[in-house]
Structure 1
Amino acid sequence: MVTNLQISGHGDARFVAVQKAFEQNFTERGDIGAAFCLIIGDQVAVDLRGGWRDAARTRPWEADTVVNLWSTTKGIGAICFAILADRGLMAYDDLVADHWPAFAANGKQHVTIAMLLSHQAGLSGFASAASVADLLAGSAAADRLAAQAPLWAPGSGSGYHAISIGILATELFRRIEGRSLKAFVRDEIADGLGLDIAIGLAPAEEGRRAEIIAPPELSSADIGQLTAPQIAALANPPLDPLLPNSPAWREADLVSANGHSNAAALARLYARFASGQVSARTLAAATAPQIEGVDLVLGVPARWAAGFLLNADGIYGPNQAAFGHSGWGGSFAFADPTAGLAMSYTMNRMGTLLRDDPRDLALIEAVYSCL
């Protein structure tokens, strides 16, 4: 039973169905605290927030509340790489080893940046025993992965690098640009564009963070039969969904999973990116399909671009050109150039479905029903 529910923000009259779906996410689909934003063209059509930042329901979700994004963070990283490509600092068909020679070890010399960002490098996780501390070890973790033999032939298929892509991407990015992804996001997205987006979260911002809430039995290892690529990605080590509530997690530079933001900032980021932040040529290269098929880790069909999840089976609405990323537990952010929109949903109560979270489906279906 939902009591004392307060929803604030605004929505254009034509999107009343979206406002209703957002409210029903609380009254019918279990949300505790959440935000949703829809931008049409350059206008904010819906910007809603409601509920609570904590399980005890004592701290309301405010306009400046931020929450851990899990893999929705990966889309932020993809945009950063596209900015580098647009500036001529790299090309997607560059070999990773051209920028990071040690990466060529054990048969990975032909892996391109596009292959790495589309989860084809065969490095979905550590092949030897690893701890959470290993995942957060920065360059030491990157060196370990660079030395590792791939778990499948690079380029032969995608296998979602759930956490490891963050380790690899920030090391590669630093070698190309000079700054880590965490620093680049701070300097050029948060400060430069005025968007409330960060990799990790500074201690000074702790007071506005939403607590991650999850069923006690939820674990990243809750998928399938666990093949070698799946074990490496999701069970070595298994991830506790409450990790974002720990200071060590928030201090890390992990563009695969520890971004902190809110729906309004993410929708604005995607709207800018899809409508002129980079050249049309760069946008096309960043969002071009790199591989499609049943992902070796996720076990479901996926279409990957250079860091973005492309629309497959209507997860991002009816238009195939939509691109973005979703996060463990239910968050998402994407742009649909065909419809001229960008939208995002962030929340603190994690759902248990790998995809098709009913809260996501309700919001996305409501948006397109109103267009």
Structure 2
Amino acid sequence: MNQKSKQAATIYGTTETGFEAVKQLFTQQMQTLAEENTQLCVYHQGKKVVDLWASKTQDPNFNADSLINVFSSSKSLEAIALASLVAKGLLRYDAKLCDYWPEFQGGGKDDVSVADLMRHEAGLANFDTSIDLDDLLPQGIKANCVGKTIEQQRQHFRALATGKREYHAITRGWIANELFRRVDPQGRTIGEYLKEDICTPLHADVAIGLDDSGLERTSDVKLLSFGAHILASFRPKIFGRKVLHNFLQLAARMLKILPSLKSSSSSQAPAPITGMTSIGIFNDKRMRKGETPSANAHGSARGFARIAAMMAAGGNLDGKAYLSRAAWQAMHQNPVPAKMGGVIHTRFTQGGVDQFLPIEKSSPLLERAFNEGREGFYGWMGLGGSIFQWHPEAQIGFAFVPSSLHMLDFLNERGKLYQAEVLRCIDQLPKSQTLT
């Protein structure tokens, strides 16, 4: 963080009656934590009830409509895209990818189903070659530049003894995009579909693949370094600790997660993108214009929360259906419990979103850290902090979009604080303020 980040953040935006505690928490976190540009937006029962943003660096170009990369929170967008094909009867989750994409066969991939891919069980968590940035532009994708690379890959599981589920951090989106454009009657990419069928008609400021006007509104993501995060964890919370966890809490999480990361297949694989040496490549204009659906969607919290509100309402918002009820239900069906990489217990549905459930207080640390405070939500989260999720039962659409990446906050617990506060606020609302 630079010197400007030491300034107090001015909090902008509004909260509806009953949600004032969310603004209080946002103000506290922005004044204390190592944040830079941050947005938080929440819908309840189709109405926007929280709309907050702040820049600790006093960035004059940052506002509620600035666009930030949300990394793996993007994965829920590709899940929506594939669900739209299910809605039209063009795709089945239990079908094999090669049924729609014959060239996908070979290398042990013949029996990989759509559900396998969406549950991170395709055995393709990494490729044996890097993808060029130019090949990720829509014209490169449609020329089969990425598809040809995927067709040549061999299935590989890190260790079947710990299960097939290994995080397809970037590759799931590339594969899903190739599947989508082959099945979509118009031959569109996922980014093109989202723009035409979801984001534009829904008035949601979100995109996979930015145009020139979008590029002008982006806010760079910045990494809080490993050393800075560790050092900050030694400061007591009462003295303004700039990270969520103290050193002992952080160490307990690191001891469980880091060994798994070191032993993953990605540790021996080439960089997923040619020339990728750091997270900074995601601030590159060419990267922003290309389509990496699993890790490179840009949007505002307002935009993501609006999509989440639509999903919380079963695919409808403001009287318009964006996803059929049958497709919405199919996307959320058959959550299968399994440990991701043998460490984090996930419950991915056949449509590719995780389900967060209440757990026992005696559950292991990571189980509690992952679920407590976001019980009832579906969706996923992004590297360093972002959260894009929906809660069908409570009818919540939630989006937290920070530019400061806390990579050692492995389970996005700083954003989870807002989810827990929103749930508390809704639980305390008078019945006259909630729909029946």
Q: TM-score, normalised by structure 1?
A: 0.89
CA distance in 1, matches of 2:131, 2:262: 18
CA contact (8 A) 1:274 1:337 kept: yes
Aligned to 1:65: 66
Deviations 1:133-168 (A, max 9, x none): 498474323322232221129995211110111111
Match of 1:51 among 55, 59, 74: 55
Question: Shift of residue 320 of structure 1?
Answer: 4.9
Question: Shift of residue 239 of structure 1?
Answer: 5.6
Match of 2:404 among 345, 349, 370: 349
Match of 2:414 among 340, 359, 365: 359
CA contact (8 A) 1:321 1:336 kept: yes
Aligned to 1:226: 262
CA distance in 2, matches of 1:340, 1:316: 18
RMSD: 2.7
Q: Is 1:102 the equivalent of 2:103?
A: yes
- Range 8-17 or range 318-327, more displaced: 318-327
CA distance in 2, matches of 1:253, 1:331: 19
Match of 1:281 among 317, 321, 326: 326
Aligned to 2:345: 301
- Relative to structure 1, the CA distance from residue 192 to residue 144 in structure 2 (aligned partners, 3 Å threshold; closer, same or farther) is same
Task: Give the secondary structure class of the aligned counterpart of 2:196.
Answer: helix
Aligned to 2:117: 116
- Relative to structure 1, the CA distance from residue 252 to residue 124 in structure 2 (aligned partners, 3 Å threshold; closer, same or farther) is same
Aligned to 2:433: none
Aligned to 1:184: 193
Match runs of 1:59-208 below 5 Å: 59-126=60-127, 128-130=128-130, 133=133, 136=136, 138=141, 139-152=144-157, 156-177=163-184, 178-208=187-217
Match of 2:309 among 271, 278, 283: 271
CA distance in 1, matches of 2:338, 2:102: 30
CA distance in 1, matches of 2:122, 2:340: 13
Match runs of 1:214-253 below 5 Å: 214-216=223-225, 223-224=258-259, 226-231=262-267, 240-253=278-291
- Relative to structure 1, the CA distance from residue 24 to residue 344 in structure 2 (aligned partners, 3 Å threshold; closer, same or farther) is same
Larger Rg: 2
- Relative to structure 1, the CA distance from residue 304 to residue 176 in structure 2 (aligned partners, 3 Å threshold; closer, same or farther) is same
Question: Shift of residue 117 of structure 1?
Answer: 1.2
- Relative to structure 1, the CA distance from residue 22 to residue 234 in structure 2 (aligned partners, 3 Å threshold; closer, same or farther) is farther
CA distance in 2, matches of 1:61, 1:215: 19
Corresponding residue pairs, total: 363
CA distance in 1, matches of 2:424, 2:45: 17
Structure 1 gaps, min length 5: none
CA distance in 2, matches of 1:131, 1:141: 7
CA distance in 2, matches of 1:368, 1:274: 14
CA contact (8 A) 2:39 2:400 kept: yes
Question: Shift of residue 366 of structure 1?
Answer: 1.4
Question: Shift of residue 228 of structure 1?
Answer: 4.8
CA distance in 1, matches of 2:384, 2:336: 25
- Relative to structure 1, the CA distance from residue 359 to residue 168 in structure 2 (aligned partners, 3 Å threshold; closer, same or farther) is same
Deviations 1:148-191 (A, max 9, x none): 22112999521111011111111110001010011111211232
Q: TM-score, normalised by structure 2?
A: 0.76
CA contact (8 A) 2:41 2:301 kept: yes
